[in-house]
């Protein structure tokens, strides 16, 4: 793999950038692999990378039905943080945040991680109680979190309207939170995994599982059968479909979640502002666009579009809170299909089928977890034993009742 650096940039400039090596190969599938990962989003690619880099398993394929990052990885609003309520969540999201902090260096690929600070606004007494409880829990877990007053919020976001229909009564600030470039995360993991020998196979849809004696032995795909000792499924909103193919059901609902971006403007907002109770969160991309996230649709769907009333419900509070944005034009709107569990926490681990592992249920907030999720999932697949950080997120919790209710910290209305 060619190392990216200022020197390689200069070297290639001499040849008018004609000689850059392809970031990853496009091989035909082999007959069999040690591990097949289904789903070429950030989590699937990260899993493949850590299997090869940390677990010594390089005979790995990532099988993606479309193109890399074409699912939720390339559709999200890129917010990264670790300020969740429960210890179990703190474990996995903070593990991820620590990996984010060194990810560009590790992958030799600029994932544009930008810890610009993240505000969670409180608009009513209930919000204040929620951030009070959560902020204290976060700090007990040794994670940075600060309560800030409306005056401090105004200092960070001078054009915010504090005294509107949704008064700002305070906020929770995580300074280490921020954003990262979503495509770059997928591409960075893909490039590094490929360099370690992982086969990345795009346009290859998994249509079924080969299962003998309740043990998975391979996957049927649109490009033929591929044998596998172990299979890891990381298909987000389509996890229910894949589980159905393997003969079991998952406690998830698939719903559209939307986002929109404005025309680009000069830098005006240098932090992320989330507002769970009014269903709007906002940041500014490096290109200058306002990136606005909405609440999820109220109905189940695989449409990847989302309904118009959600846009209205989102833009209304944005204009109320930030009147200065009222005359901006919105450029694009899109949706992704998110896999939501009843406790808004992911499912990571074993399934009723031997050697078939699932990593799903990240719902509206899995981008931030990408490195941590891939890391612990890779170790779980390699060892056949679930990594301690992932253990609380087993599917069994829906039988035992040991739910990890992150409804409030998820911050997106479901
Ligand atoms: C609008 C929106 C905003 C969001 N904002 C945030 C945010 O700000 N912060 C945050 O942390 N999270 C956010 N999320 C959630 C986040 O995007 C997801 O949790 C995360 O990206 C999931 O990553 P993944 O790799 O598991 O899934 P995906 O990126 O969806 O990858 C799954 C892949 O599986 C493939 N696949 C499906 N079926 C098959 C099959 N049969 N065979 C082969 N391949 C298949 C799909 O094509 C897809 O590429 C948001 C989501 C949306 C939609």
- CATH 3.50.50.60 placement within the chain: 31-78+182-251+343-410
| Model pLDDT for residues 342-400, shown as the tens digit of each residue | 999 999 999 999 999 999 999 999 999 999 999 999 999 999 999 999 999 999 999 99
Q: What is the pLDDT of residue 413?
A: 55
How far is Cα 414 from Cα 411, in angstroms, rounded to an integer? 9
The answer on pLDDT for 410 being more than 80 is no
| Model pLDDT for residues 27-52, shown as the tens digit of each residue | 999 999 999 999 999 999 999 999 99
User: How remote is the CA of residue 41 from the centroid of ligand 1, in Å?
Assistant: 6
Q: Is the CB of residue 259 less than 8 Å from the CB of residue 334?
A: yes
Q: What is the pLDDT of residue 59?
A: 98
- CATH 3.30.9.10 placement within the chain: 116-176+254-341
- 147: buried, middle or exposed (CB in 10 Å: 19+, 13-18, 0-12)? middle
Q: What is the largest CA-CA distance in the chain?
A: 64
Query: What percentage of the chain's residues is helix, strand, coil (to nearest 5)?
Result: 35, 25, 40
**% of the chain with per-residue pLDDT over 90:** 92
Q: Is CATH 3.40.718.10 correct for 31-78+182-251+343-410? A: no
Q: Ligand 1, from 36, 37, 38, 41: best to mutate by most atoms within 8 Å of Cβ? A: 41
For residue 114, give the DSSP letter.
B
Give the distance, in angstroms, between the CA of residue 184 and the centroid of all CA atoms in the same chain. Answer: 13
pTM score of the predicted model: 0.97
User: How remote is the CA of residue 338 from the centroid of ligand 1, in Å?
Assistant: 7
| Model pLDDT for residues 75-123, shown as the tens digit of each residue | 999 999 999 999 999 999 999 999 999 999 999 999 999 999 999 999 9
**Bridge partners of 38?**
63, 233
Q: What is the pLDDT of residue 98?
A: 98
Q: What CATH class has 116-176+254-341?
A: alpha beta
Q: Ligand 1, from 61, 63, 69, 71: best to mutate by most atoms within 8 Å of Cβ? A: 71
How far is Cα 410 from Cα 403, in angstroms, rounded to an integer? 14
User: What's the rounded mean pLDDT across residues 231-242?
Assistant: 98
| Model pLDDT for residues 136-195, shown as the tens digit of each residue | 999 999 999 999 999 999 999 999 999 888 899 999 999 999 999 999 999 999 999 999
pLDDT band of 212, cuts 50, 70, 90: very high
How far is Cα 297 from Cα 305, in angstroms, rounded to an integer? 10
Distances (CA, A) of 12 to 2, 6, 191, 192: 11, 10, 18, 20
User: Quick one: tokens of 127?
Assistant: 């919000």
Q: Residue with the nearest Cα to atom 4 of ligand 1?
A: 76
Task: Look up tokens 């429960």; give the residue.
Answer: 86
The answer on pLDDT for 283 being more than 60 is yes
Q: What is the pLDDT of residue 142?
A: 97
């Amino acid at each position: 793999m060619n190392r990216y650096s200022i020197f390689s940039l200069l070297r290639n400039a001499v040849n008018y950038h004609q000689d850059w090596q392809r970031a990853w190969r496009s091989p035909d599938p082999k007959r069999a692999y040690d591990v097949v990962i289904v789903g070429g989003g950030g989590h699937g690619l990260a899993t493949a990378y850590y299997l090869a880099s940390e677990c010594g398993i390089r005979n790995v394929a990532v099988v993606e039905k479309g193109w890399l990052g074409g699912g939720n990885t390339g559709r999200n609003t890129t917010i990264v943080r670790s300020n969740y309520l429960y210890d179990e969540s703190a474990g996995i999201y903070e593990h991820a945040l620590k990996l984010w902090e060194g990810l560009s260096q590790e992958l030799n690929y600029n994932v544009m991680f930008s810890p610009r600070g993240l505000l969670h606004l409180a608009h009513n007494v209930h919000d204040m109680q929620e951030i009070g409880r959560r902020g204290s829990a976060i700090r007990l877990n040794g994670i940075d979190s600060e309560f800030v007053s409306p005056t401090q919020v105004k200092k960070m976001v001078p054009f915010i309207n504090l005294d509107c229909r949704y008064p700002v009564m305070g906020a929770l600030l995580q300074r280490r939170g921020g954003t990262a470039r979503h495509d770059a995360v997928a591409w960075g993991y893909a490039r590094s995994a490929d360099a370690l020998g992982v086969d990345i196979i795009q346009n290859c849809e998994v249509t079924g599982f080969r299962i003998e004696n309740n043990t998975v032995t391979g996957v049927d795909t649109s490009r033929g059968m591929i044998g596998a000792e172990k299979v890891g499924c990381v298909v987000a909103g389509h996890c229910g479909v894949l589980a159905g193919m393997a003969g079991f059901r998952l406690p998830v609902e698939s719903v559209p979640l939307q986002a929109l971006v404005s025309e680009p403007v000069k830098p005006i907002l240098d932090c992320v502002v989330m507002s769970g109770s009014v269903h709007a969160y906002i940041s500014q991309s490096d290109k200058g666009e306002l990136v606005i996230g909405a609440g999820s649709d109220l109905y189940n769907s695989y449409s990847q579009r989302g309904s118009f009333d959600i846009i209205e419900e989102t833009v209304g509070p944005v204009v109320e809170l930030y009147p200065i944005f009222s005359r901006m034009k919105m450029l694009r709107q899109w949706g992704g299909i998110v896999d939501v569990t009843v406790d808004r926490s992911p499912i990571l681990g074993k399934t009723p089928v031997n050697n078939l592992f699932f990593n799903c249920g990240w719902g509206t907030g899995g981008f931030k977890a990408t490195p941590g999720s891939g890391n612990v999932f890779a170790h779980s697949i390699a060892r056949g034993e679930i990594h301690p950080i992932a253990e609380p997120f087993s599917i069994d919790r829906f039988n035992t009742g040991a739910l990890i209710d992150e409804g409030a910290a998820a911050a997106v209305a479901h």
